[in-house]
Amino acid sequence: MSFEEIEEKRRELSKTHNCVVQTIVLDAPEGDKVVGFLKEPKRIDKIQALDISIRSLTQAAAHIVTTSFLKDESDPRFMDEKPENDPIYLGLLLAVQSKISVYTEAIKKN
């Protein structure tokens, strides 16, 4: 997928889901790109993720992935549980962890 195709799909998904959709692009171990889409989490999911993050930022990221990751619109390797796809799933968790950190910093500023 080209950058333009990814961006067009993201815009379409934003319209379909009536919310902001973010793109997550990772390098796959095979050298290609893995493209995924994450819709803006609902407020309750953000609150739960912040609560969970007190214990484990990774578990908080897994919660957001469970509630907000658009599996059907994303590369299936993100959610494939084969060991060779673990780096892709873990990369997704790291990307979502950074988003949770943004929520936390926004709260601290207010």
pLDDT digits (tens, 9 = 90+) for 80-98: 999 999 999 999 999 999 8
CATH of the domain at 67: 3.30.2220.10
Q: What angle do CA 27, 31, 36 make, to 5 degrees?
A: 35
List the domain range (segments joined by +) for residue 73: 3-109
Residues 6+ positions from 64 with CB-CB distance below 8 Å: 38, 41, 45, 49, 96, 99, 100
pTM, two decimal places: 0.88
| 10 CB neighbour count, 10 Å cutoff | 19
| CA distances in angstroms from 107 to 43, 47, 73, 100, listed in the order given | 13, 11, 31, 11
Q: Number of structural domains, the chain?
A: 1
pLDDT digits (tens, 9 = 90+) for 3-33: 999 999 999 999 999 999 999 999 987 789 9
